[in-house]
Amino acid sequence: MIIALLCILVYLFKPFCINLIMPNKALVDIFNEIADMLSVDGRPTARFEIRAYQNAAMALSSMSEDVSELYKRDGRDGLLSINGIGKGLADKIIEYIETGHIKKYEDMKKLYPIDFANLTRIDGMGAKRAITLYKMLGVKDIPTLKKAIDEHKIMGLEGFGEKSEQLLAKGVAMLEGSKGRILLGDALPIAESITKMLYDSGLVEKAIVCGSTRRMKETVGDLDILAISKEPEKVMDKFSGYKNVTGIVAKGPTKTTVWLDAGLTCDLRVIAPESFGAAMQYFTGSKEHNVEVRKIAISKGYKLNEYGLFDSKDNVVSAIDEKDIYMRLGMDYIEPEMRENRGEIDLAKRHALPKLVRIEDLKGDLHSHTIETDGTNTLEEMAEAAIKKGFEYLAITNHTKSLKIAHGMDDNKFSAFFKRIDSLNEKLDGKITLLKGAEVDIMKDGSLDLNNSTLKKMDIVIAAVHSNFNMKIDDMTARVSKAISTGYVDVLAHPTGRIINEREPYAIDMRKIADIAEEHNTALEIDSYPSRLDLNDASVFAIKDHNIRFAIDSDAHNTVHFDFLRYGIGMARRGWLEKKNVLNTMPLKQLLKRLQ
């Protein structure tokens, strides 16, 4: 039973092992797979090995530094300084850095030649189930799983059934539909690492990320980077030789396309300085946005393309500055995140665009976890990191008792933990204020997972659905509405429950939820975790007309995760939110007054 729970824990953590540096990501995947394979090991000590590999994977996923650079600089002692890395695991990391292999992993893969990385991304498919299907049906990857589903062999196995087979089929379809697109949280750091490499080379005067990445779309199909350089051919040589390039699709003097090890292509174009603004406008907007802007240009007697805005005699009217191009067309400048043809062009023509919220507007974070449940850092470490981020406040919102897999806390544990928060707040002496809270499970019947007496002790209560995802839309809507109607819920966390490319949103009527949230002064969360981004921009856009606030939170499980807030800001800006729409742009006193 313990091994099974640990195995599930490893599976649950996998969506959070994102935004990683190579080879950190490779090691995280390897350690998670070793834990997967150990889950069927009958030895009494296996559970300790599983926990060790799981802790190591979480530690590496939290690092902002390339572990190989740490080893190069500080040797084995540097690896041992990582929380969760002991001597044995340090040796395995060294083995991988020096040889590209880990013998234990390769030996185990001979026993279980299973594509855990993709199979366990499917909703309803944990490591133990993957191993069972391999033993019973020879399923080892997505194609063999599809074959077993098509032949209806899974429904006859003990512990599965027809409903399980249908769920797996749905998961396979979702996974295959996501191929070729990666999370924004993976794509943006990769693009930024390329632009940094270009700047560090001294060969470029400017390098800008464009395309859907600049628009902050939740998933990205390819990368577009524009640069200015007096030595374009040297830039192309530098780019095509970048360490994460696995292949060259096409290479020319001013444009090169490469395959990256993340599984997507990247285009680099060196643009003439006098056309750079036009190119930025052209390569940023969605196709639909650009078509409408070009129609306006034509209606005014102009021609607009990636080289500039031209009059009827092909004289350049504007090209250097994209803001000037919009102005010449009678529009206010449209922020990149809004360029989706959702009505932004009409607002720009009427000079009525919203002033979008910025990350600098956030005063604090209302959703974070510590080591007491499923976080990896202590209360003190989270507070120190939040101070460095410049937060005025941080809500500590550990899980509640029903979420046993995350070591959820009961009423007594929360009471004791709140005393620790009070004590630490005294020591911090105003550097930051830690808010006492919890991420309270919404039970199947809509009740909350803690006593009212405990909820009353909290500064903030966020509530979330973590189970029974397959309810009908009316039942799920009633469940969540009942929880909000208790009057205790300040924020509804990750309101649709989705994991991007892995788990679909549960069925829920968000307009009805927005109605009930407005009635009870409950904010709706934009969870900034790159694998969640929940609410996403489309949901925010659909309900922004309600008199409600949104909370842009990191859902931090360690100190590095505060950096995820920029992705939540991206969703908010894509949903046209302003500072006034966001709960945690409020200063502390104003926030506490609202929460009371």
Quote the pTM value: 0.83
Phi-psi region of 446 (alpha: psi -120 to 50; beta: other; left: phi over 0): left
- Please list the residues that pair with 492 across neighbouring strands: 463, 524
**Tell me, what's the pLDDT at 209?**
98
The CA-CA-CA angle for residues 292, 297, 302, to 5°, reads: 155
Which helix (H) or strand (E) covers residue 301, if one does? Answer: none
Q: How far apart are CA 473 and CA 25, in angstroms?
A: 37
Q: Residue 15: helix, strand or coil by DSSP?
A: helix
CA distances from 405 to 12, 127, 195, 386, 501 (A): 9, 15, 40, 26, 23
Ranges in the chain annotated CATH 3.30.460.10: 182-270
Burial classification of residue 430, based on how many CB atoms lie within 10 Å of its CB (0-12 exposed, 13-18 middle, 19 or more buried): exposed
For residue 536, give every residue at least 6 positions away whose Cβ sits within 8 Å of its Cβ, in sequence order, or none. Answer: 218, 571
For the chain, residues with pLDDT lower than 70 are 1-23, 41-42, 64, 177-180
Distance, CA of 436 to chain centre: 25
**Tell me, what's the pLDDT at 59?**
79
Ranges in the chain annotated CATH 1.10.150.110: 2-177
**Tell me, what's the pLDDT at 410?**
96
The CA-CA-CA angle for residues 26, 28, 31, to 5°, reads: 110
Q: Tell me the CA end-to-end span of the chain in Å, nearest whole number.
A: 43
Query: Would you say 118 and 141 are in contact if contact means Cβ atoms under 8 Å apart?
Result: yes
Q: How far apart are CA 208 and CA 242, in angstroms?
A: 17
Ranges in the chain annotated CATH 3.20.20.140: 359-595
**Tell me, what's the pLDDT at 22?**
56
Q: How far apart are CA 491 and CA 522, in angstroms?
A: 5
- Please list the residues that pair with 207 across neighbouring strands: 227
Q: What is the architecture, at CATH level 2, of domain 2-177?
A: Orthogonal Bundle (1.10)
For residue 337, give every residue at least 6 positions away whose Cβ sits within 8 Å of its Cβ, in sequence order, or none. Answer: 215, 216, 356, 537, 570, 573, 574
**Tell me, what's the pLDDT at 178?**
58
**Tell me, what's the pLDDT at 376?**
83
Q: Which fold has domain 182-270?
A: Beta Polymerase; domain 2 (3.30.460)
For residue 11, give every residue at least 6 positions away whose Cβ sits within 8 Å of its Cβ, in sequence order, or none. Answer: 120, 126, 127
- What is the side-by-side order of every strand in the sheet holding 245-251? 206-209, 222-228, 265-270, 255-260, 245-251
Q: How far is it between the farthest Cα atoms of the chain?
A: 82
Q: Which fold has domain 359-595?
A: TIM Barrel (3.20.20)
Ranges in the chain annotated CATH 3.30.210.10: 293-349
pLDDT tens column, 385-433: 999 999 999 999 999 999 887 889 999 999 999 999 999 999 999 999 9
Query: Any alpha helices (H) in 41-161, and if so which ranges?
Result: 46-61, 67-80, 87-99, 103-111, 116-119, 127-137, 142-150
Query: Would you say 215 and 340 are in contact if contact means Cβ atoms under 8 Å apart?
Result: yes
**Tell me, what's the pLDDT at 115?**
85
Q: How far apart are CA 135 and CA 125, in angstroms?
A: 15
Q: Residue 287: helix, strand or coil by DSSP?
A: helix
**Tell me, what's the pLDDT at 45?**
73
Query: Would you say 532 and 555 are in contact if contact means Cβ atoms under 8 Å apart?
Result: yes
Domain 293-349: homologous superfamily in CATH: DNA polymerase, thumb domain (3.30.210.10)
